[in-house]
Structure 1
Amino acid sequence: MNKKIAIIGVPMDLGQMRRGVDMGPSVIRYAGVVERLEALGWQVEDRGDIQIGRPKRFDVKNESNLKDLEEVVEANRLLAEETAEVIADGSFPLILGGDHSIAIGSLAGTAKDKENLGVIWYDAHGDLNTGETSPSGNIHGMPLAVSLGLGDKSLTEIGGFSPKVKPENVVLIGARSLDEGERKLIREKGIKVYTMHEIDRIGMPQVMEEASEYVTNGTDGVHLSLDLDALDPSDAPGVGTPVVGGPTYRETHLAMEILAEKNIVTSAEFVEVNPILDMKNQTAEAAVALIGSLFGEKLL
């Protein structure tokens, strides 16, 4: 990692149905993310928030079973441009969500100057649905599929190229809620997945060692996409789609610490913090603590 970080907020709540996640960037800032990073010696530029359009009515599906598509496309187009600009300026893009649909834009911007981008998808869900397989039509359940070139062209072609990543360069960690279409796609594409079964069986240290080696094999950068619902809801209650039985706060800290030691992550996003569903900003504070660990914070 270099020593310059550019923070981009994306107050997006249109990729899912529960209002409030658009305040995620604000509460993560309120929890002290800038101060935490500066205390670690990083030069931090907060570039403010991407502007998100508002539909006349929320959660309206189009003919392809996609909700609020037009606004989601435009926001991700702007995010892709901003992310690419940050990278061209020599800074590390740290993107704060917002719901996970913003990963479409962050990956489009990050992959622009990469031949083989590696991706660590730390999430309870696969986010591998398309309009055809999605039970809900919520685009926050589709960003990884979109980045693999699957789905509506208005999403897959953001940034002017597709796909953004190759299935052999992706690792899912913490998965414990997958739709049938996602399971089928994982099998078809041979996507590497560490479910909670593997984490419980071999432990987070080995999972992260193996995952780190996997995503750096032949790649020219690694993007970390961390959904706070990856954590067990007891440690991160302020998320829209909680799934019990996830990695603990401490296990996730360890995962970030291992990534920091290996110094392989070149861009990152932290998403799905919803303060309306939270308890005393617990989830935003967890996000900031995890960001601290990713960027080298240690006790001693």
Structure 2
Amino acid sequence: MTRPLRVIGVPMDLGADRRGVDMGPSAIRYAGLHDELVDLEYDPTDVGDLPVTHPEVGDPDAVTPRTGNAKYIGEVENVCTRLADEVAETLADGAFPLVLGGDHSIAIGSVNGSARDADVGVVWFDAHADFNTPETTPSGNVHGMPVAAFLGEGEFGDTDWAQANVKPENVALVGLRSIDRTEREELRESGVSVFTMSDIDERGITDVTEEALDVVGEGTDGIHVSLDLDWLDPNEAPGVGTPVKGGVTYREAHAALERTARRDVRSLEVVEVNPILDRSNRTADLAVELAASGLGKRII
């Protein structure tokens, strides 16, 4: 029997500082996503893309109250609020939400939607901590803030749209290798579990992933998986806006997502594919492959 799945595109590049990531959803679809989902015995329905204001139209200085230095925060709030509704409605309809980004700021909406009527854990596969706030950000780019946002850190604690029903002790960041000084200090006090590339080097990807999944699954109703393609080494995934050397390999990434699929995953997002920076749609192809592993694909 096929399983219902809803593909939700979010062509957002307002949270980043490089253009092109808004074409990520199209590139991922072009890489054969639909056929892969059908092969996995899902019944996919693609609802298209949420409308997103272009940076040429939006005002980076138009901020809502108490947002500090956060570019396009009003537009980000608008998109993430609608995305949260879409994800929550998908789950209420008994379908699995697969969200395609777009920059990582969209995770504020994905997590809020997944956690609306449930206690949810979050596993975050990323090179970056994404734990800045409008007060601490060195760039003002909201794609560096979503974890802090959905946990209600700093000024995000005064918002209704950003803070989600997620406990810090049920959040695990896996594969970090680029952390700002303030983020490092805040993370140490946060209760969030952090697994760096050094941990993966020392212990191996499967051991680290299993511990992270144990953390996020403890006492929760399911897991939201957030996959940023810059988690991988740039030699594997060149089409990302903020590449960092020393990331996970092709097989390490698949091994982690294969382990993740064995748990109670209730929602998945794939973000930060930038076709302008890619080579022959290689990163989008990889995004489809990894999403398939996260949804249960096996070698045999």
Larger displacement relative to structure 2 (180-189 or 21-30):
180-189
1:243-282 → structure 2 map (5 Å cutoff): 243-260=244-261, 262-282=262-282
Name the residue aligned to 1:37: 37
Name the residue aligned to 2:143: 140
1:11-160 → structure 2 map (5 Å cutoff): 11-56=11-56, 60-61=60-61, 62=63, 64-114=68-118, 116-153=119-156, 156-158=159-161
3-state secondary structure, aligned to 1:44: strand
- Residue type of the alignment partner of 2:10: V
Give me the whole-angstrom Cα distance separating, in 2, the residues matched to 1:202 and 1:94.
30
- Residue type of the alignment partner of 1:180: R
Give me the whole-angstrom Cα distance separating, in 2, the residues matched to 1:19 and 1:193.
29
Counterpart contact for 1:224–1:268, Cα < 8 Å: yes
3-state secondary structure, aligned to 1:75: helix
Give me the whole-angstrom Cα distance separating, in 2, the residues matched to 1:44 and 1:273.
21
- Residue type of the alignment partner of 1:143: P
Give me the whole-angstrom Cα distance separating, in 1, the residues matched to 2:161 and 2:182.
23
Counterpart contact for 1:104–1:155, Cα < 8 Å: no
Counterpart contact for 1:14–1:59, Cα < 8 Å: no
Structure 1 gap ranges (5+): none
Give me the whole-angstrom Cα distance separating, in 1, the residues matched to 2:131 and 2:51.
26
- Residue type of the alignment partner of 1:207: V
- Residue type of the alignment partner of 2:143: H
Give me the whole-angstrom Cα distance separating, in 2, the residues matched to 1:55 and 1:242.
22
Give me the whole-angstrom Cα distance separating, in 2, the residues matched to 1:59 and 1:241.
23
- RMSD of aligned Cα (Å): 1.7
Give me the whole-angstrom Cα distance separating, in 2, the residues matched to 1:191 and 1:181.
15
Counterpart contact for 2:148–2:156, Cα < 8 Å: no
Structure 2 gap ranges (5+): none
Deviation sequence 1:102-158 (CA, Å, 0-9, x none)? 0011111111011x2100000000000001110000000000100001244598411
How much has 1:263 moved relative to structure 2?
3.0
3-state secondary structure, aligned to 1:266: strand
Give me the whole-angstrom Cα distance separating, in 2, the residues matched to 1:11 and 1:224.
19
Give me the whole-angstrom Cα distance separating, in 1, the residues matched to 2:283 and 2:228.
11
Larger displacement relative to structure 2 (51-60 or 224-233):
51-60
Counterpart contact for 1:128–1:141, Cα < 8 Å: yes
Give me the whole-angstrom Cα distance separating, in 2, the residues matched to 1:268 and 1:155.
27
Give me the whole-angstrom Cα distance separating, in 2, the residues matched to 1:52 and 1:155.
24
Give me the whole-angstrom Cα distance separating, in 1, the residues matched to 2:46 and 2:272.
19
- Residue type of the alignment partner of 1:16: A
Deviation sequence 1:170-208 (CA, Å, 0-9, x none)? 000010000111111111112111100000000011111
Residues 42 and 144 (structure 1), Cα distance of their counterparts in 2 relative to 1, 3 Å cut: same
3-state secondary structure, aligned to 1:213: helix
1:185-224 → structure 2 map (5 Å cutoff): 185-224=186-225
TM-score with structure 1 setting the length? 0.94
- Residue type of the alignment partner of 1:228: L
- Residue type of the alignment partner of 2:122: V
How much has 1:164 moved relative to structure 2?
2.9
Counterpart contact for 1:124–1:174, Cα < 8 Å: yes
3-state secondary structure, aligned to 2:8: strand
3-state secondary structure, aligned to 1:215: helix
Question: Among the aligned pairs, what percent are the same residue?
Answer: 54
Number of residue-to-residue matches in the alignment: 295
- Residue type of the alignment partner of 1:214: V
How much has 1:218 moved relative to structure 2?
0.8
Give me the whole-angstrom Cα distance separating, in 2, the residues matched to 1:60 and 1:84.
28
Give me the whole-angstrom Cα distance separating, in 1, the residues matched to 2:168 and 2:263.
22
TM-score with structure 2 setting the length? 0.94
Give me the whole-angstrom Cα distance separating, in 2, the residues matched to 1:74 and 1:120.
24
How much has 1:56 moved relative to structure 2?
4.6
How much has 1:60 moved relative to structure 2?
2.6
3-state secondary structure, aligned to 1:194: strand
Name the residue aligned to 1:171: 172
Give me the whole-angstrom Cα distance separating, in 2, the residues matched to 1:232 and 1:189.
27
